[in-house]
């Protein structure tokens, strides 16, 4: 079974190739069953290896650059985090016609939260806030910049372009108002902190209604803590959004910037994935609906 491709120039991949890579580079695991993992992920393809491991292969050269970062930093950050994160077990090299480095991780149990449908989301909101707070407190010394380390203003042209492109599918007037409010918000008061920068449903694992693990740290690095507030709209419904905000305690400016980040990311994702990935398009549409009907907006920083 071949993995579906999402990006131009993406390499074909199937379980037989993964078996050959494992046999050649990790012979102790040769012979374990290799089965594809259904995932909405857009940067990596995953195959379960036996019962306790997962093979993760980047879809693009850009995603391949994240392999070294995850192997370097995840073991250092994990002890300071309140939930499980991926544990690197092996780092593969290009071979068998596969052009990029790849990884073997310990398998983490749990399910991605259903988009727009979470039973009793309050405890999950508290758990997410606890994870974000713990990550932001970790010593940032020597940390690399996040994939999303730029100021919101650097995204202005692309975000307005996506609003124009999606006119008719998105309320352009409302989206522009949310975006311009975010641009007016004061910037972060302190230095950059560790951020996950991609807290979406596909990167969160839930067990028994609680946060069990956070995965896919490809965007990890130092940046504005407001970037991680996107979880409020990507993962949580409106009522639990208030719980997340109250537990984490961002100021009004950070909350407004967080809304701007969520809006910009969702617009660009819908623009790119609406004809490529039904799952990602569904998530983006849901986020945009939540943002444009949000009752938890901060008071205007200028008002």
Cβ density class 78-90: b for 16+ within 10 Å, e for less: eeebebbbbebbb
> What pLDDT does 138 receive?
98
* CA 243 to each of CA 38, 103, 169, 183, 269: distance values in angstroms, whole numbers, following the listed order: 31, 36, 30, 25, 27
CATH number at residue 81: 3.30.200.20
> What pLDDT does 252 receive?
97
Domain assignment present for residue 1? The answer is: no
Q: Is the pLDDT of residue 84 over 80?
A: yes
Domain assignment present for residue 185? The answer is: yes
Q: For 112-127, write each residue's pLDDT tens digit.
A: 998 777 878 999 999 9
Kind of pairing between the strands at 204-207 and 88-92: unpaired
pLDDT band, very low/low/confident/very high, at 5 (cuts 50, 70, 90)? low
91 and 178 in a common domain: no
CA 90/CA 103 separation, integer angstroms: 6
149 and 85 in a common domain: no
178 and 147 in a common domain: yes
Domain assignment present for residue 298? The answer is: no
186 and 95 in a common domain: no
Domain assignment present for residue 134? The answer is: yes
**pTM of the predicted protein model:** 0.92
Single out the residue in 55, 76, 106 at which a domain terminates. Answer: 106
Closest CA to 218 of 235, 195, 236, 192: 195
Contact 243, 126 (CB under 8 A): yes
188 and 72 in a common domain: no
Q: Which residue would you say has higher pLDDT here, 44 or 106?
A: 106
> What pLDDT does 167 receive?
92
Contact 183, 153 (CB under 8 A): yes
Single out the residue in 71, 106, 141 at which a domain terminates. Answer: 106
Q: Mean pLDDT lowest for which of 79-83, 252-256, 290-294?
A: 290-294
Domain assignment present for residue 244? The answer is: yes
Contact 280, 162 (CB under 8 A): no
> What pLDDT does 300 receive?
44
Single out the residue in 106, 131, 150 at which a domain terminates. Answer: 106
Q: For 11-66, write each residue's pLDDT tens digit.
A: 778 899 999 999 999 999 999 999 999 865 678 899 999 999 999 999 888 889 99
183 and 94 in a common domain: no
What are the structure tokens assigned to 195, written together? 């951020």
CA 192/CA 63 separation, integer angstroms: 23
> Can you give the C-alpha Rg of the chain in angstroms?
19
Domain assignment present for residue 276? The answer is: yes
pLDDT band, very low/low/confident/very high, at 277 (cuts 50, 70, 90)? confident
Q: For 172-231, write each residue's pLDDT tens digit.
A: 999 999 999 999 999 999 999 999 999 999 999 999 989 999 999 999 999 999 999 999
> What pLDDT does 296 receive?
55
Domain assignment present for residue 7? The answer is: no
89 and 64 in a common domain: yes
Contact 129, 200 (CB under 8 A): no
142 and 80 in a common domain: no
Furthest CA-CA distance within the chain: 64
Number of domains present in the structure of the chain: 2
Average pLDDT over residues 268-291: 92
User: How does DSSP assign the chain, residue by residue?
Assistant: -BPPP-STTPPP-BHHHHHHHHHHH-GGGTTS-EEE-----SSEEEEEETTTEEEEEESSHHHHTHHHHHHHHHHHHGGGSSSB---EEEEE-SBTTB-S-EEEEE----BPPPTT--SS-HHHHHHHHHHHHHHHHS--TTPPBPTT-S-GGGGHHHHHHHHHHTBTTB-HHHHHHHHHHHHHS---SS--EEE-----GGGEEEETTEEEEE---TT-EEE-GGGGGGHHHHT--HHHHHHHHHHH---HHHHHHHHHHHHHHHHHHHHHHTTT-HHHHHHHHHHHHHHHT-S-PPPPTT-
> What pLDDT does 1 receive?
39
159 and 70 in a common domain: no
158 and 128 in a common domain: yes
Domain assignment present for residue 5? The answer is: no
180 and 87 in a common domain: no
184 and 152 in a common domain: yes
Domain that holds residue 214: 122-292
CATH number at residue 174: 3.90.1200.10
């Amino acid at each position: 079974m071949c993995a579906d491709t999402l990006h131009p120039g993406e390499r074909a991949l199937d379980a037989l190739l993964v078996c050959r890579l494992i046999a050649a580079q990790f012979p102790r695991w040769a012979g374990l069953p290799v089965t594809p993992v259904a995932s909405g992920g857009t940067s990596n393809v995953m195959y379960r290896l036996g019962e306790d491991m997962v093979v993760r292969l980047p879809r693009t050269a850009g995603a391949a650059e994240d392999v070294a970062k995850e192997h370097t930093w995840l073991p250092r950050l994990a002890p300071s985090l309140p939930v499980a994160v991926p544990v690197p077990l092996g780092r593969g090299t290009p071979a068998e016609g596969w052009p990029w480095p790849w990884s073997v991780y310990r398998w983490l149990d749990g399910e991605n939260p259903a988009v727009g449908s979470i039973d009793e989301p309050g405890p999950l909101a508290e758990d997410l806030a606890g994870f974000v707070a713990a990550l932001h407190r970790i010593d940032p010394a020597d940390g690399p910049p996040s994939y999303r380390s730029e100021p919101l203003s650097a995204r202005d042209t692309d975000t307005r372009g996506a609003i124009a492109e999606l006119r008719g599918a998105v309320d352009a007037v409302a989206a522009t108002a949310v975006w311009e409010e975010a641009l007016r918000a004061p910037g972060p008061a302190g230095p950059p902190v560790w951020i996950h920068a991609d807290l979406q449903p596909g990167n969160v694992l839930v067990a028994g209604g609680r946060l069990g693990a956070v995965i896919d740290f490809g965007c990890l690095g130092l940046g504005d803590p407001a970037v991680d507030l996107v979880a409020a709209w990507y993962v949580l419904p409106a009522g639990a959004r208030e719980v997340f905000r109250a537990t984490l305690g961002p100021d009004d400016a950070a909350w407004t910037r967080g809304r701007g980040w969520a809006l910009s990311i969702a617009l660009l994702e819908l623009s790119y994935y609406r004809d490529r990935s039904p799952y990602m398009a569904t998530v983006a549409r849901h986020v945009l609906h939540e943002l444009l009907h949000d009752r938890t907006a901060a008071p205007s920083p200028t008002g």
